[in-house]
Amino acid sequence: MRALVCHRHGPVEDVRPGELPDAPPPGPDEVTIAVEHASVSHATKLLIEGSYQSRPPLPFAPGTEAAGRVVACGANVTRIKPGDKVVALARWGCYAERLTVPEATVYPVPHDLPLLTALPIPISYGTAWGALLWRAALQPGEVVLVLGAGSGVGLAAVEIASALGAKVLACASSDAKREAALAAGAMHAFPADDGMARAVKAASGGRGADVVLDAVGGDAFERSVRAAAANARIVSVGFASGRVPDVPLNLLLVKNIALHGFFFGRYIGWTPVDERNVHAPMMQRTLSTLFDWARNKRIRPAVTAVYPITGLAAALAALESRQVVGKVAITITTETNPCLPPTPGAPPGRAAPA
């Protein structure tokens, strides 16, 4: 089958279209999917370079999030049938024409929701939902500060927190990203610079943020501690800045702040002990809710740039340069959806679904 093939760990430019053995037929609890689109993330680059938590056997197809249609199901599979539109999560393998994965992390997409609209929901919106609700126990009326608010997870957090009745403050690195956060429901948006704490206090009537969602790390995290209210909850979900922050424990102590780590991979089988079956009922309920929200326009997930299968390096370069607003994808097959060019002229954070 055609795939993007990583023959050795190293530069992303070395990953090119090639051939891999066909995906195996599904086992009793597995599903085989014809992949149309797959998402691009910072984790993709780490996986290719060999610096992620796990290392696939070489050669392999990268990619952790795919959208397509089911072509075969195992004997025990009951939630999904051949022909269904689905999104699926895998440790790797999504940059290939066929993908065989456990049913537990395959999610049926409503017939009236386009696949490109559904693609960002499992990881970006799932991460934001889990961080805000499972870890931070967000309540209506609280002040939420989202760092990296122009990213896929950041925009998802802005939308979800706003939909749940929170007052959302957004930090992002460019005017376009701040505009996208405001369009997604943030009440105020500002840079994550030295004035961030003052801006948060001013926008919250001197209160500070009750909940901080941090996908950035580095200096932004350290500034967010000063912007946090007494008894705040800070949730760290990643380090897009490239630097793991120094934690000012003295401020956590005197402000009675709780610091939570949140690794979404634990819920979808990306840990050494695969826990996806344990968490599958909760994940399936969450994804069903988020798909309904998307259908009802309560959230508006979108892929803002789609690259051809030959464009992975360009997609990752755009992502790493922090030029991208929202989610990026590549087209794997064009059986039912035409390959779209990158769409830099699309409205920030929103793109027409394919």
Is the confidence at residue 352, as pLDDT, over 70? no
Domains (ranges, CATH) in the chain?
2-120+274-331 (3.90.180.10), 124-262 (3.90.180.10)
Lowest mean pLDDT, pick from 52-56, 99-103, 177-181, 295-299: 52-56
> What is the C-alpha separation between 30 and 72, in angstroms, rounded?
9
- The tens digit of pLDDT for each residue in 286-323 reads 999 999 999 999 999 989 899 999 999 999 998 887 77
Model pLDDT, residue 342: 41
Mean pLDDT for 262-286 is: 95
Average model confidence (pLDDT) across the chain: 91
Is the confidence at residue 101, as pLDDT, over 50? yes
- The tens digit of pLDDT for each residue in 145-192 reads 999 999 999 999 999 999 999 999 999 989 999 999 999 999 999 998
